[in-house]
Chains A and B, each alone.
Chain A
Amino acid sequence: MAAADVATLHNGSEGPRTRWKYLDRILDRPGPFTDPESFVPGNHETLEIAKVLVIGAGGLGCEVLKNLALSGFKDIHVIDMDTIDVSNLNRQFLFRAADVGKYKAEVAAAFVEKRVKGVKITPYCGKIQDKDEAYYKQFALIVCGLDSIEARRWINSMLVGMVDGNDPDSMKPLIDGGTEGFKGQAKVIFPTMTSCIECQLDMHAPRAAVPLCTLATIPRQPQHCIEWAHIIAWEEERKEMTLDTDDPEHITWLFQKALKRAKEFNIPGVTYSMTQGVVKNIIPAIASTNAIVAASCCNEAFKILTNANPFLGFPETDGYMMYTGDESVYTYTFEYKKKEDCPVCGEDALARPLQIDPEATLQEFVDSLAERPEAQLKTPSIRTTEKSLYIQSAADYERMTRPNLEKKMKDLTAEGEEMLISDKAFPMMFKFVVVWKK
């Protein structure tokens, strides 16, 4: 029996859209805040034909898929490279114990397709970096529920790079959500028109790493003992083995090592759970917060495509909502201003000042780039206008430039010199001007 016949059977005399009764009231009736220029009452087609992409099928992604399907979207694509872990089950509600080990994107897509009739969900189990401009070009908008800042920066620069001033269809709204415990945020980005993920990078500053010498010689906290086992002891004693943080034997080994070191220094508090938390950099996550953030993202996606009400991210208006549920409920909705010198969406990618300690070695400078909120680059290659300081993108160059790592910055560059930094994780170049730290 064809799908259309089934629909007729069930709907009987009630008409083909009885199922969407509540949604249609919003789509058919203008409201006091709808813009009469852009809102077309009775337009059901936009949602039906719009192709949307969901990046991530985890805590946020599961919610997003459900929400979009029940907001009238019919053609949804989802990308996720991960497989299901037992610790996902406390919030990723499309997965059951029997699904552990299967691909998230596949299980999530099949579940929502089965539950919500008439929606088509196309999964891709792989990396966002596998796909090119032509792929991303087919979508009306993209909703992102990722836990990695690197992946966010990648898709952001891809979408900014796709914008062609002569083709309005080349600008793809990016709606991004994130959570941690009882807190979260949802934001809407119109590439090149509003601030982008790269402009907002300081909102995602990484936690300061503990200095190696503390780990090696003067540990004080249980976490220091765990990091010591993770970074130093493993390298020394199990060099031949690649650390797999999902392997319980490996975590147990690290835990026992950390415990022993903690005993030597009389440091209390090392536990298995803490060991796991530190080495996997676990962020607490619950269903409630995912529900809030994902629904906020989907509410904006729905408004953007239907114009049923004003949406976040319209240039010069609020585009970012922060949610805090630890103490009562507090939300802060604001406009994150576009940065003129943003290396991704800035007008002509002006060089930004970068404070450098002239006495630091190039190695220390390279290490510091991973932590600096404005850079967050883990595998940087660095050039000045004069010469290549350190290039890790190719093995030959790396060998050639490695001796520079021991030299001091003051001997390699000069105040006011332009410095170009690239990183294989990102398709763009970061331009800085050297400023000596006093």
Chain B
Amino acid sequence: MADLPPPVQGPTAKEKKYDRQLRLWGATGQIALENSHILLINSGPGVVGLETLKNLVLPGAGNFTIQDSALVDEADLGVNFFLEEEHLGGFRAEHTCNLLKELNPDVQGHFISEPVESWLAQPDALEPYTLIIVTAPIRPGLLTKLAAHADQALVPLFYIHSVGFYSHFSIHLPPAFPIVDTHPSPETTTDLRLLKPWPELLAYAEEKTEGLESMAADDHGHIPYVAILLHYLEVWKKDNNGQVPQNYKDKTAFRDLVKAATRTDTPEGGEENFEEAVSAVLKSLNPPEPSSTVKEIFKSPECVIIRENSPPFWVIAHAIGLFYTKYGVLPVPGAVPDMKARSADYIQLQNVYKSKARKDLAEVLESVRFLERNANLSTHIEEKDVEAFCKNAAHIKLVRGRPFHIVPAEGDLKFGTNAKSLAQKLTFPDALVPIYIAFLAWDKYTATHTLDDLARASKTPGSSDADVDSDTGKVTSIALKLVDSLVKEASYTIDEEEYDTVRAQIAELARELVRAGGGELHNIAALTGGMVSQEVIKVITEQYVPVDNTCVFDGVRSKSSVFKV
């Protein structure tokens, strides 16, 4: 074994433990997770919030804090996994915090058992937290206060319902939440620039296809398909006034041209590289035009004017926007898919793309440095961030965060800018907007009903058997009123028959919600906790694309829906 390099350092203990997730969000995502401090403001049976935290403690979120003033009662033990019999009568915040901490010694857990009203009244109570999760029921006034904090401190805020078979969550993100590392599906990321080749790429194709007709069989069968396509594009252009294939008809004709060039006198009766070339024609012969999403990002106000305090995303986006204006394309990402080829030819091709990507990056980087100096930027942008941006420039996303609806205890809810699209979705069978409306009605009921005059604890509909029918009536009528005001605010005309169907549906949904009496089913809480924790991870790591901004789950039909409110 003398010819082998010296023994390698294997993975660290932490890399071993987190191996299965590091393969998703990498070391940078893990660092972001470890630097987070998540606050859960818990209420009700409190299961969905804890199930969410469980999925964040396990992968190593740095810190969590549970605010919950409830005392552990018998009913908690039948639905909550992070409590034991000996905790009966104790503070739920304390015991759930301790049992969650057991899941991962790397994570710090804290708890606050003071009532939420007085605790939130303290100045700077929310200061330590990088992300806040609130579970219903909560008083509208407190939720409004949290939303104001989210707005002002740019801290993401999640609001969750889990009642019986239904659940909902809304996310209030900062007004500009950009994502570079969106993890697009691999099929969408190939960008070979065959219609906008640069001299080095053309030279490569020419070299590899020289003497094509008389080439030995083994050589012919190993020409990388990129070279094959570029070669026949030149042939095509000669016969078509210098034009590349323009439309579907041209492309299929071009495909036939390549197909006809395949040698069939081989032992296999064909050539794999030519097969690859043929099947790549339709998807690779498109002008490398950025998507409208990306172009809109270049046009957004934060991108157009770079100031002293502009975040790195906008500075780099501005620089890439300049590149696009100059060349009409985005920087070359530089990756080449695997293809039938000899090792050396493939590596050479890879290097042609990599050098071009590096050249484009250098140009973008120069613009970034210029912007830094010009705008007197306070932060230094790292080259690796510019590189990552250039690589994924075609797939960047911008989520425009906004506040979600908070039903006021007094007065009417304003549905706001998305009223129209919500009203339109009322009648879509799979949009689940009626469930969302039912939850708003549920909030209105709990905001206006208390268990008794002394205890300020809110009363959830259906919490006593005797009131099921009357509570169903109340929630239904609140929900119907909400639907009426939504339709009115949106100035939306709805067919009378369809309207009746929506009303009947709302009445059924209200009955199903009231049936649960504010109780959680462990399965739905766990499922929703899974969904919310995925979203929290996406928001904290700034990877993948989070829900914008509301999601509903229907556990009766096992369906979900996402829409903007």
Interface residues of A (CB under 8 A from B): 10-11, 14, 18-23, 25-26, 28-33, 63, 66-67, 70-71, 86-87, 89-91, 93, 96-97, 115-117, 181-182, 186, 218-221, 248, 251-252, 255-257, 259-260, 265-267, 272-273, 276-277, 282-296, 298-300, 302, 309-310, 312, 318, 321, 323, 325-331, 333, 359
Contacts and interface: CB of A to CB of B under 8 A. Distances in A.
Nearest to A325: B534
Contacts of A252: 7-8, 10
21 contacts: A22-B516, A22-B519, A23-B521, A28-B465, A66-B522, A90-B18, A182-B24, A182-B544, A220-B338, A252-B10, A272-B10, A285-B20, A285-B21, A288-B530, A290-B530, A291-B51, A291-B54, A291-B530, A325-B535, A326-B545, A330-B560
Contact of B521 (A18, A22, A293): A22
B79 interface: yes
B392 interface: no
Given A91-B20, A292-B534, 17 more contacts: A19-B75, A20-B75, A22-B78, A22-B520, A70-B80, A71-B522, A91-B59, A115-B84, A273-B23, A284-B20, A288-B534, A291-B529, A296-B558, A325-B538, A327-B544, A328-B547, A333-B559
A25 B462 contact: yes
Contact of B79 (A70, A259, A266, A327): A70
Given A31-B511, A265-B343, A291-B529, A117 B517 contact: no
Contacts of A117: 77, 85
Interface string B532-556: 0111011000001111100100011
Given A22-B516, A91-B20, A218-B342, A33 B556 contact: yes
Nearest to A275: B8
B10 A182 contact: no
Interface in B454-496: 462, 465, 468
A310 B556 contact: yes
Nearest to A237: B1
B183 A287 contact: no
A258 to B, nearest CB: 11
A89 B185 CA distance: 28
A70 B83 CA distance: 12
B523 interface: yes
Contacts of B59: 90-91, 286-287
A86 B15 CA distance: 10
A72 B19 CA distance: 34
Interface string B73-108: 011011111001100100000000000001111000
A265 B269 CA distance: 29
A30 B514 CA distance: 11
A255 B10 CA distance: 10
B222 A218 contact: yes
Contacts of A186: 558
A28 B164 CA distance: 13
Interface residues of B, number: 94
Interface of B: 3-5, 7-8, 10-11, 13, 15-24, 45, 51, 54-55, 58-60, 74-75, 77-81, 84-85, 88, 102-105, 164-165, 182-183, 185, 222, 269, 338-339, 341-344, 346-347, 462, 465, 468, 507-509, 511-512, 515-517, 519-524, 526-527, 529-531, 533-535, 537-538, 544-548, 551, 555-560, 562
Contact of B530 (A285, A295, A309): A295
A143 to B, nearest CB: 12
B11 A272 contact: yes
B20 A18 contact: no
Contacts of A310: 556-557
A292 B531 contact: yes
A25 B516 contact: yes
Nearest to B516: A25
Contacts of B555: 299, 309
Nearest to A188: B558
Contacts of B530: 287-293, 295
Given A90-B58, A221-B338, A291-B527, A284 B74 contact: no
A73 B523 CA distance: 12
A416 to B, nearest CB: 22
Given A26-B521, A67-B522, A181-B24, A287 B10 contact: no
Contacts of A32: 507-509, 511-512
Nearest to B60: A90
Contact of B343 (A255, A267, A291): A267
Contact of B559 (A283, A302, A325, A331): A331
Contacts of B558: 186, 296, 299-300, 312, 318, 321, 331, 333
B56 to A, nearest CB: 8
A62 to B, nearest CB: 10
B523 A299 contact: yes
Given A32-B508, A117-B77, A289-B534, A277 B4 contact: no
A318 B557 CA distance: 8
Contact of B5 (A70, A256, A328): A256
A72 B560 CA distance: 25
A252 B523 CA distance: 42
Contacts of B18: 90
Nearest to A116: B81
Contacts of B559: 321, 331, 333
B562 A284 contact: no
Contact of B546 (A29, A276, A328): A328
Contacts of A220: 338-339, 341, 343, 346-347
Contacts of A255: 8
Contacts of B11: 272-273
Contacts of A266: 343-344, 347
B508 A330 contact: no
A329 B515 contact: no
A28 B80 CA distance: 20
A272 B338 CA distance: 21
Contacts of A289: 530, 534
B418 to A, nearest CB: 16
Nearest to B20: A285
A287 B58 contact: yes
Contacts of A359: 269
Given A219-B343, A220-B343, A252-B8, A23 B78 contact: yes
Contacts of B509: 32
Contacts of B521: 22-23, 26, 71, 299, 302
B4 A256 contact: yes
